[in-house]
């Protein structure tokens, strides 16, 4: 009997030792996978010139993806509801192909085009509507404006505020209030995987999960062929690169390398205390695209006042390898608010921020980019 007790005690001790060693290794992984860069670290700078394509159908274009030869454009949620929220442009001949979506809360309708995703099928794409919490599929090769396939957020899935497909039946999400940095759900709304947590992210003060999610509000993009999901911070100059295959998150801080200034506003009527950015705090990343070769992060560095007074939003793109090492800076001759890259045809596209917004087309000089070696 005593021998059995000793055996059980020994096994319990071994299990505890294993658990604590795993926690220690996870903590060291956070430090091992953290990178920083400044403008001085960027050894290559390239100037890109663009051609603008104007379409009268575009009113306040805000989102863009590339699906084959087609650009899919999502409108701002404050357009006239009689206008289509989504447009399709053929880049081969720069012709307007058609419109998608009907604004509303009814079956097949969408309230807004907050996010676009290329999806998993050859001829379809997805639109995420933040207001109604719905993910809707549309097809490129038909004239049907309503979506015939929609996924409604329910339960804990409701707290997801951005999402991209991670397989043919799962989506990777960033959350509004959650202890984890990336959360994966299946299409039934079941939480199936979690990656990273906020306890390993060092910030001054005692911030709740809600505040941490708000401080790290991000633009989310993915490359399923590479198993990569990248969140680019809007308020903080920080990239989080999740490699789903090995479940590691590489953190890249820069180019400013400091926490933004913020204050707290106490919520009323039971609302949570909010984290408010100071007025003179510039926006950081405006968009991100994950290619097969590089990661492209569109950087702003301007305050809301500066953007409103000049109309200039973002004119710099920082290019990273897939491990988060900064390679070069692209200086654009035109202000953009988001971007997408065609690595095959060596093109960079973005939506302009001028009075009559359109699509900027840049020739991308891949042959001039020298990858980082030995990292």
The tens digit of pLDDT for each residue in 26-59 reads 434 455 689 999 999 999 999 999 999 999 999 9
**CATH number of the CATH domain containing 283:** 2.120.10.30
Tell me which of 16 and 205 has the higher pLDDT: 205
Q: Smallest Cα–Cα separation from 216: which of 145, 277, 149, 141?
A: 277
The phi, psi pair for 213, rounded to 5°, reads: -65, -40
Please give the DSSP secondary-structure letter assigned to residue 62: E
Q: Is residue 310 a part of any domain in this protein?
A: yes
Residue 69: how many CB atoms within 10 A of its CB?
A: 13
Q: Is residue 165 a part of any domain in this protein?
A: yes
| Domain extent for 51 | 33-368
Q: Is residue 138 a part of any domain in this protein?
A: yes
Q: Is residue 69 a part of any domain in this protein?
A: yes
Q: Is residue 21 a part of any domain in this protein?
A: no
Q: Smallest Cα–Cα separation from 289: which of 249, 241, 245?
A: 241
Beta carbons within 8 Å of 263's beta carbon, 6+ residues apart? 275, 276, 278
Q: Is residue 10 a part of any domain in this protein?
A: no
Q: Is residue 198 a part of any domain in this protein?
A: yes
Q: Is residue 27 a part of any domain in this protein?
A: no
pLDDT in tens, 322-362: 999 999 999 999 999 999 999 999 999 999 999 999 999 99
Total domains in the fold of the chain: 1
């Amino acid at each position: 009997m005593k021998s059995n007790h000793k055996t059980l005690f020994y096994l319990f001790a071994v299990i505890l030792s294993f658990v604590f060693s795993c926690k220690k290794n996870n903590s060291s992984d956070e430090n091992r996978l953290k990178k920083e860069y400044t403008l001085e670290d960027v050894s290559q700078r390239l100037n890109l010139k663009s051609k603008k394509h104007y379409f009268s159908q575009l009113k306040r274009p805000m989102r863009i993806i590339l699906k084959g030869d087609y650009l899919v454009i999502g409108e701002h949620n404050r357009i006239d509801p009689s206008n289509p929220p989504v447009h399709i442009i053929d880049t081969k001949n720069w012709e307007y192909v058609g419109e998608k979506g009907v604004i509303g809360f009814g079956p097949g309708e969408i309230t807004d085009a907050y996010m676009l995703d290329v999806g998993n099928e050859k001829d379809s794409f997805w639109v995420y509507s933040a207001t109604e919490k719905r993910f809707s599929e549309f097809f490129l090769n038909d004239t049907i404006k309503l979506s015939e396939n929609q996924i409604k957020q329910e339960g804990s899935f409701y707290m997801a505020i951005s999402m991209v497909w991670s397989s043919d039946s799962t989506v990777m999400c960033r959350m509004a209030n959650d202890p984890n940095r990336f959360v994966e759900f299946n299409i039934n709304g079941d939480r199936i995987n979690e990656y990273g947590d906020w306890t390993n992210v060092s910030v001054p003060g005692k911030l709740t999960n809600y505040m941490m999610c708000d401080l790290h509000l991000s633009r989310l993009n993915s490359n399923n062929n590479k198993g990569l999901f990248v969140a680019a911070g809007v308020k903080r100059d920080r990239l989080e690169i999740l490699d789903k295959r090995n479940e590691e998150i590489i953190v890249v801080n820069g180019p400013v390398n400091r926490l933004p200034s913020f204050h707290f506003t106490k919520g009323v009527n039971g609302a949570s205390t909010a984290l408010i950015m100071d007025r003179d705090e510039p926006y950081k990343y405006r968009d991100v695209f994950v290619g097969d070769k590089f990661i492209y992060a569109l950087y702003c560095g301007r305050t809301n006042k500066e953007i409103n007074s000049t109309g200039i939003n973002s004119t710099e793109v920082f290019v990273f390898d897939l491990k988060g090492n900064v390679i070069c800076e692209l200086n654009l001759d035109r202000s953009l608010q988001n971007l997408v890259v065609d690595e095959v045809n060596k093109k960079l596209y973005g939506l302009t921020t001028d009075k009559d917004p359109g699509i900027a087309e840049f020739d991308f000089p891949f042959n001039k980019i020298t990858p980082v070696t030995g990292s």
